[in-house]
Amino acid sequence: MKLAILGGSFNPVHLGHLYLAESALKMGYDRLILVPAYSSPFKPGVRDTSPQDRLDMLAASAPADPCFAVDDCEIRREGVSYTIDTIADIIDRYRPEGKPGLILGDDLAEGFTGWRDYGKIISLADIIIARRISSKSVFFPYPCRQLDNAILDISSRDIRSRIQAGKSWRYLLPEGARFIIEDRGLYGYGQAAAKPAAGARKNPALRAKTATKAEIARIENAVRSLVSPSRFLHSRAVAALAWDLCVRFGQDPGRGYLAGIAHDIAKSMGENELKRFAKKDGKPVSALERKKPSLLHSRAGASLLREYFGITDGEVLAAVRDHTAGSPSMGPLEKIVYIADKIEPTRKNEARRGGADQWPGKAFREDGGRESLDSLFASVLKDTVAYLRFRELDLSEDTRGLLEAVAKMEKAGNL
């Protein structure tokens, strides 16, 4: 196997690194090894992230492609990371066919003779000069190959300063690295850019519980692969509206988004699977659910998320479980996801066949942001029930119980 090595600080890894890595692979290598430095001899002062953070970002960004590998030998070795040690180590462990390629940026070519044991490096590896600053081949006094890559105007230093200044940066690097920066607040992320929802700011208890970007992405990718494309777009629209409603009603928007994106995760399950997963919540399958097993997708979805996707946030799970029929004791997050599912703006027009009065989105569109969560929920519930009755569909026990609870609240003047 022919190997090439791309070392660097990867602080953070960005699309330019991956592009360069793939360009080098095209020169006839089978595998490209990305090697993050513990401490670069060229950038000894860079200390704004730990080696572990940089390694984690690489691990989260490595393409799902056997041509790419990440090796943490320099981080395990600690101390100043010298290229000669790494090359010797990699040859020893990987036993490559022929000399490994060593990618060197043209910005470093001139100072190469200052590298530790540079003569040995030349004898052990084939030097590949990559373009970083010059679009022409640079002079290099030893045998080398010149990589004919385009120069992308992306650098880790620029990304770091963009993050600090609250400027746009997210799509300059792979998604995995982006989530780690956001979730861990690296490079000062969050100090200049993030503005928590007004309600969440007021309520410290809500700030403590949130969904990480990495968790949301993990579930979103699972939903993308498990449901149809149109169902996925509906889920995205529910997630976005749940986010907005959380901001409006003082809930954590990340949890709203997570429950919204996940709510229909079991929608494509077959009948037997739906029953098997739904029953894991300990409740029997009702007569109505037996008659219409598709109703079980909300209960089955919550069980699937808990058992197979490790979601432990009880309110997120309840929001998924109750999004179809509701339940008599719903919390704010459950109500928000219920509302968002019924009125998200891309929802098919089928529900409008009952006429504008039966369209559950009517109350939301017309409320002008004045209604409380409970009264908005009550309007959407009543509109949904009116639509179900118009279509002569049965109401579940839970929905009936919920309707009674809402009627009582209205009578008492609490809505």
Q: How far is the CB of 403 from Fe ion (least distance, A)?
A: 19
Supply 225's token pair: 């692969």
Interaction of residue 182 with Fe ion, rule CB under 5 A: no
Q: Which is nearer to Fe ion, 82 or 338 (CB)?
A: 338
Q: How far is the CB of 263 from Fe ion (least distance, A)?
A: 6
Interaction of residue 315 with Fe ion, rule CB under 5 A: no
Instruction: Name the DSSP letter for residue 304.
Output: H
Q: Which of 264, 289, 322, 383 binds Fe ion (CB under 5 A)?
A: 264
Only one of the segments 91-99, 281-289, 335-343, 369-377 lies at the binding site for Fe ion (rule: CB under 5 A); that segment is 335-343
Q: Which residue has the tokens 């004919």?
A: 148
Q: Which is nearer to Fe ion, 197 or 242 (CB)?
A: 242
Only one of the segments 177-185, 202-210, 257-265, 277-285 lies at the binding site for Fe ion (rule: CB under 5 A); that segment is 257-265
Q: Which is nearer to Fe ion, 165 or 393 (CB)?
A: 393
Q: How far is the CB of 292 from Fe ion (least distance, A)?
A: 13
Residues 6+ apart with CB under 8 A from 372: 415
Separation in Å, CA 98 to CA 26, 103, 142, 145, 335: 17, 16, 18, 15, 63
**310 backbone φψ class: left, alpha, beta (φ>0; ψ -120 to 50):** left
Q: Which is nearer to Fe ion, 182 or 344 (CB)?
A: 344
Only one of the segments 37-45, 115-123, 153-161, 262-270 lies at the binding site for Fe ion (rule: CB under 5 A); that segment is 262-270
Q: Which residue has the tokens 């939903």?
A: 223
Instruction: Name the DSSP letter for residue 393.
Output: P
Peptide bond into 12 cis (omega under 30): yes
Only one of the segments 70-78, 177-185, 256-264, 375-383 lies at the binding site for Fe ion (rule: CB under 5 A); that segment is 256-264
Query: DSSP per residue over 88-138, as a string?
Result: HHHHHHH--SSPPEEEEEHHHHTTGGGSTTHHHHHHHSEEEEEPSS-SSPP
CA distance 58 to 43: 18
Q: How far is the CB of 238 from Fe ion (least distance, A)?
A: 6
Q: Which is nearer to Fe ion, 109 or 295 (CB)?
A: 295
Q: How far is the CB of 176 from Fe ion (least distance, A)?
A: 28
Cβ neighbours of 22 (radius 10 Å) = 15
Site string for Fe ion, 207-246 (x = CB under 5 A): ----------------------------------------
Q: Is 402 helix (H, G, I), strand (E, B) or coil?
A: helix
Interaction of residue 341 with Fe ion, rule CB under 5 A: yes
Q: How far is the CB of 216 from Fe ion (least distance, A)?
A: 17
Per the DSSP assignment, residues forming a β-bridge with 46 are none
Q: How far is the CB of 305 from Fe ion (least distance, A)?
A: 13
Q: Which is nearer to Fe ion, 37 or 227 (CB)?
A: 227
Q: Is 213 helix (H, G, I), strand (E, B) or coil?
A: helix
- Distance from CA of residue 364 to its chain's centroid? 29
Q: Which is nearer to Fe ion, 178 or 263 (CB)?
A: 263
Q: Which is nearer to Fe ion, 106 or 341 (CB)?
A: 341
Pairing of strands 126-130, 144-146: parallel
Judged by CB under 5 A, how many residues of this single chain contact Fe ion?
2
Q: How far is the CB of 272 from Fe ion (least distance, A)?
A: 19
Q: How far is the CB of 268 from Fe ion (least distance, A)?
A: 11
CA distance 323 to 196: 26
Q: Which is nearer to Fe ion, 6 or 261 (CB)?
A: 261
Task: List interacting residues with Fe ion (CB under 5 A).
Answer: 264, 341
